[in-house]
Amino acid sequence: MRVLAAMSGGVDSAVAAALAVEAGHDVVGVHMALSRERDQMRSGSRGCCSIEDAGDARRAADVVGIPYYVWDLSARFEETVVADFLREYEAGRTPNPCVRCNEHIKFEALLDKATALGFDAVATGHYARVVRGAVTELHRAADAAKDQSYVLAVMGPERLERALFPLGGFASKDEVRAEAARRGLSVSAKPDSYDICFVRDGNTQGFLRDRLGSRPGEIVDSSGAVLGEHDGAYGYTVGQRKGLGIDAPAADGRPRYVLEVDAAANRVVVGAAELLSVDRITGEKSVWLADDVLAGAGADGWVEGEVQVRAHGAPVPARVRTTGDAGAEVELLGAPLRGVAAGQSLVVYRGTRVLGQATVASAHRARPASVGTRA
């Protein structure tokens, strides 16, 4: 196959490209320039897409022995990922920019452009497994600590058919680094990138304030009593405990948490932890990777599995069914979840297999929270 290898400049994508070559594919490396203001050097392990990263990717391509190009996708990245990030926070929601990047950049802009140029597939350094058979399935990586299936679930079945994840079977990141060192790749000891790549100093609230401006409003409790003021409701997220800007403690001395971000009223509602617990979730913009499982649902449409609402969160037992207009309903079958926010990605699993994904539209509690509620 002709394979386009996405090369970020890190160890994972370098090893993935090398393994694609070793598998006998005709491979070309490409580095995506996603920032309009690219730093010369990376700041430690924060972020990615610096000029330093592009240079590391080029050197890795030289070692692997493949052609290498840089594609400027910065405008597309700003128009989709960054714009969605700002729009969602402004609406009082909590987005996951890594999900949107995989959706709009790596498995839309990049893969679609690769297909137009005659490539059969795109290889990336994501930790996940593709199992091909009568139905192509997306599964968790062998290394649960590095598993990235949560942020990949949004790609859809057509793009999954054209995706390669050569690192999915590695047992640990140490094994990947050892493989890089064995192959003479200089990035073998390079630190992982983390946090939101376009928030270069890691200060998300500062980034939002710079882009959205100051919008003072009230912080209230669930009864509507004013407890303090904020500089912008967009700077808060459901489940947040620290940095609330409230001087006086609660009457019972217990911590307060953000319960709701009311963007229309520019108001932040806070309250006790137990008010965060939910056992019913509705989703929107759903994408399914397991039509065979959905086809086997009962007359009422429910499918049992597990759901995960954070990239590194624990999956919890649930039943799920689709609704009209790409919607989804979720009922938790065990303990409630705490702090589920609109805008989060909800991924449905059955064991290691990804069944589908939806964006959280709303969440509520239909029954009293039980002892052992998950944080």
Would you please indicate which residues are annotated as catalytic (active-site) residues?
101, 197
Pairing of strands 353-364, 280-288: antiparallel
Q: How far apart are CA 40 and CA 319, in angstroms?
A: 48
Asked whether the beta carbons of 289 and 137 are under 8 A apart, the reply is yes
Place of tokens 């058919």: 161
DSSP 249: P
Pairing of strands 337-338, 26-33: unpaired
Q: How far apart are CA 196 and CA 198, in angstroms?
A: 6
- CA proximity to 290, closest of 131, 130, 135: 135
Q: How far apart are CA 61 and CA 13, in angstroms?
A: 10
CA distances from 352 to 11, 65, 134, 355, 368 (A): 25, 34, 18, 9, 30
Q: How far apart are CA 106 and CA 70, in angstroms?
A: 14
Q: How far apart are CA 219 and CA 339, in angstroms?
A: 18
φ/ψ of 160, rounded to 5, equals -60, -35
Size of the chain, expressed as the number of residues it contains = 375
Q: How far apart are CA 93 and CA 77, in angstroms?
A: 20
Q: Two tokens at 338?
A: 């705490």
